[in-house]
Amino acid sequence: MAKGLPQLQKFIDEFTTRVYKPAYKDPVCLVHTGNTDGWFKVVMTFCNPGEGVLAAEWTYPSAMNTTRPLGVTPVPVPIDEQGICGVGLRKILAEWDESARGMPRPRIMYTVPIGQNPTGATMEATRKKEIYEICVEFDVVIVEDDPYYFLQEGQYTHKSSRSISRTESDEEYIDNLVPSFLKFDYQGRVIRLDSFSKTVAPGCRLGWFTCNPLFAERLERQAESSTQAPCGLGQTMVTSLILNWQFNGYIRWLRALGTQYTQRRDFLLDCFSDEFHLEVEQEHKGAWKGNTVYRAYAVPRNARAMIEKTSARAPMFSFVPPTSGMFVWMQLHLNHHPAFPDETPVTLEMKLWEKVALAGVLFAPGRMFSCEDDGEASPVGSGHFRVSFSNVPFDTMKQAVGVFATEIRKFWVPL
For residue 224, the one-letter residue type is E
Query: Which phi and psi angles does 238 have, rounded to 5°?
Result: -65, -45
CATH number, domain 264-412: 3.90.1150
Of the candidate ranges 76-80, 244-248, 409-413, the one whose mean pLDDT is the lowest: 409-413
Q: Please check whether the two domains, 6-252 and 264-412, share a CATH topology.
A: no
Percent of the chain surpassing pLDDT 90: 77
- The span from the CA of 98 to the CA of 105, in Å, is 7
Give me the torsion for CA of 312, 317, 319, 325, rounded to 10°: 180
Mean pLDDT, the chain, as a whole number?
A: 91
pLDDT band at 39 (very low <50, low <70, confident <90, very high): very high
According to the model, what pLDDT value does residue 15 have?
97
Mean pLDDT, range 331-356, rounded to an integer: 92
DSSP state of 255: H
* 204, 260, 83, 385: CA torsion to nearest 10: -90
pLDDT average, residue stretch 119-136 = 97
CA distance 326 to 292: 19
Instruction: Kindly report the number of other CB atoms within 10 A of residue 170's CB atom.
Output: 13
Q: Above 90 in pLDDT, residue 214? A: yes
Q: Directed axis angle between helix 6-19 and helix 232-275, to 10°? A: 40
Average of per-residue pLDDT across 78-107: 96
Q: Which CATH architecture has domain 6-252?
A: 3-Layer(aba) Sandwich (3.40)
Q: What is the pLDDT of residue 165?
A: 67
Q: What does residue 187 show for φ and ψ, rounded to 5 degrees?
A: -105, -10
Backbone angles phi, psi at 278, to 5 degrees: -105, 130
**How far does the chain reach from its first CA to its final CA, in angstroms?**
63
For residue 312, the model assigns a pLDDT of 46
- pLDDT the model gives residue 122: 96
In this predicted structure, what is the pLDDT of residue 310? 45
212 with 28: CB under 8 angstroms?
Answer: yes
Burial of 135 (0-12, 13-18, 19+ CB in 10 A): buried
374 or 198, higher pLDDT: 198
Give the range among 153-162, 188-197, 262-271 with minimum mean pLDDT.
153-162
Specify the pLDDT at position 283. 79
Local confidence band at 372 (pLDDT 50, 70, 90 cut-offs): confident
Note whether 64 and 106 are within 8 A (CB).
no
Comparing 180 with 367, the larger pLDDT belongs to 180
**Domain range annotation of the chain:** 6-252, 264-412
Read off the pLDDT of residues 69-79 as tens digits, 9 standing for 90 and up.
999 999 999 99
Q: What is the pLDDT of residue 379?
A: 56
Q: What is the pLDDT of residue 377?
A: 47
**Beta carbons of 68 and 53 less than 8 angstroms apart:** no
pLDDT of residue 229: 86
383-397 average pLDDT score: 95
φ, ψ dihedrals at 169, nearest 5°: -75, 170
Q: How does pLDDT run across 2-34, given as a tens digit for each residue?
A: 888 999 999 999 999 999 999 999 999 999 999
Report the share of the chain in percent with pLDDT over 70.
Answer: 92
Residue 348 reports pLDDT greater than 70? yes
Residue 414 confidence (pLDDT): 55
Phi, psi (rounded to 5 degrees) for 384? -145, 150
317: nearest Cα among 296, 339, 292: 296
Q: What is the pLDDT of residue 300?
A: 53
pLDDT over threshold 60, residue 263? yes
Q: pLDDT per residue over 286-343, tens digit each?
A: 667 777 899 999 875 454 444 444 434 789 999 999 999 999 999 999 998 989 888 8
The pLDDT of residue 373 is 64
